[in-house]
Structures are given as structure tokens and as C-alpha cells.
Structure 1
């Protein structure tokens, strides 16, 4: 494990601490989009839980959304109770998650980040999400993801 990227190790430790039961998979190539991840894993793009970090006037907001959806930022902002959600800069993402865009996991951040879960992900028996690095993913279920993150369910589109 000495050669494992530190962000994957941090994710692995937090995953175990939170009782995660899914498999952590390190893929040979970066899967920084839902389509690439779905292709590599042989699943539907909708079963990929994208971890999208938004900037709400300087406060991070993480939305775990199905790869089949685009987040309607105006509607989602109203649903999570903020005035505006804007795409976070790479520096903002790294500052608040300790991870890079394309590899942001739902957990394993330096400090808690308000998190919301796309109701669409309920449709899948197995959900895949990033494990702290663009080439690392993990399997989970909707219920386990909700329990590990404490994220309330919202509609994102």
C-alpha cells in the first residue's frame, strides 16, 4: 500500500471508519467523467454518483448526483437553502475536499461538507462513486451512501 496515492488512503480509512462495505477499485486509467467510469465498470452511466462541489458564496456544497443528470443550479440552490450555487474552481475543490476535480469522493474530506443526494440514484442496486482520486472508485448502495454521508435526498434537475 505504500505506493497508493494519499487521497485514496485517506478515503479508504474514512470509508472503513464509516462502516462502508463496498469494493474499492483502482482502475488503470483516470475516469474523471461519469461516461468513462461507466464504460470502465460496465454499468449504466446513471449508476455513477458524481460528486459535484459547488461554491455557495464561499461555502462548499457537495451534490452527489446520478451521472444521468445535470444539476439545475437554480433549482438545487433553492432546494438546499442557498442563494446561488456556482461551479467551484479547482483550488476551491482542493481546499475543501483535499481532492481534485474528477476524483472527489463523497467522504474523506478535511472537514465536513454539506452534502445532498440525488433521489435518482435510488434506482440502482449498486452505485459507484469516486474514491478520492480520478482512477479510484468504490461500490456502494443508495442507503449506505446516505448513511455514510448523512446527506438528505433532493431532486437535482
Structure 2
């Protein structure tokens, strides 16, 4: 039996500390898109919460969006009262989340991040989000995700 990846272990500890109740699941390495994750989990693509980190003039902004949605960055920036939201570089993502693109979890970052949660996710009883590593996800609900993250609800499209 191999040891758990350190980023998953860190996520697991933070999830437990915050009172998270969901199950952490390790998926096959080949599952790297919302559609593939949904297929592996047997759920709708819209039940996958993508953690997207944006660079807002050097400051991080985390948007948790349904796998069914693409973030309209101009609209989202206007709704949250920020300047332009740009795709974050891999180094920027790692610096602000301690995680890699494809495995960014909604929690367990080095410092709190301004976080926004796509209201579309409330349509699903069970939501799946990354657990700190590209092959790890955890189950939660929209309400629990709000509580775990302290996120502000937002419509992203």
C-alpha cells in the first residue's frame, strides 16, 4: 500500500478540521476534465465543481463553477466588483493555492482566497470538487461548499 499524496493528506486534514462530511475518492489518472470525472463518478457534468483561479491584477480570485458552465470573465468581474479576470499561470496557481492546476480544491490553501460559488451547483444534491490533487475529488453539497469556503454566491454566465 502506498502512502497518500501529501496534497491529498493536507486537504483531508483541512476538510476534517472544517467539518466536511463528504467522501474523498481517488480517480484514475486519466480523469482530467469535468466530463471524464462525471463519467467516472456516474454523475452529471454539472455536478462537478471546477475550481478556477483567476488573476485580478495580481490578486487571486477563486470561482467554483459548475462543469456545465464557462465563466464569463467580464461579467464575473463586474458582479464581484473587480478589474479584469485573467487566466492564472501555473506558478500563480501554485503560489496562491499550494496545489496544481487540475487539482485545486475549494479549501486548504496557504491563505484565505476570495471565493465565489456558481449558484447553478445548487441544482445538484451531490456536488464533486477537487481534493488537492488532479486524481482526487470529494463529495459535498452546495450548502456545505458554501459553509466550508465562506464563498459568495454568483452567477457566472
Q: TM-score, normalised by structure 1?
A: 0.97
Q: Match of 1:113?
A: 113
**What is aligned with 2:85?**
85
- Kept in 2, the 8 Å contact 1:99–1:133? The answer is yes
Distance 1:80 1:30, change over 3 A: farther
How large is the RMSD of aligned CA atoms in angstroms?
Answer: 1.1
Aligned counterpart, 1:6: 6
Question: Partner residue of 2:99?
Answer: 99
Mapping 1:3-42, distance limit 5 Å? 3-42=3-42
> Is there any run of 5+ residues in structure 2 with no aligned partner, and where?
none
In structure 1, the partner of 2:49 is 49
Moved more, 23-32 or 143-152: 23-32
Deviations 1:46-81 (A, max 9, x none): 000000000000000000000000000000001111
User: How far apart are the structure 2 equivalents of 1:131 and 1:82?
Assistant: 27
Task: After superposition, give the CA deviation of every residue in 1:119-154 in whole Å (9 maximum; x if it has no partner).
Answer: 000000000000000000000000000000000100
- Check 1:30–1:14 CA distance in 2 against 1; reply closer, same or farther (3 A cut): farther
Contact 1:127 1:141 in 2 (8 A): yes
Q: 1:137-156 alignment to 2 at 5 Å? A: 137-156=137-156
With the length of structure 2 as denominator, give the TM-score of the two structures. Answer: 0.97
Residue 32 of structure 1 and its aligned partner are, at CA, apart by 2.3
Following superposition, the deviation at residue 2 of structure 1 comes to: 6.5
| Structure 1 segments (4+ residues) deviating >4 Å | none
Count of residues paired in the alignment: 157
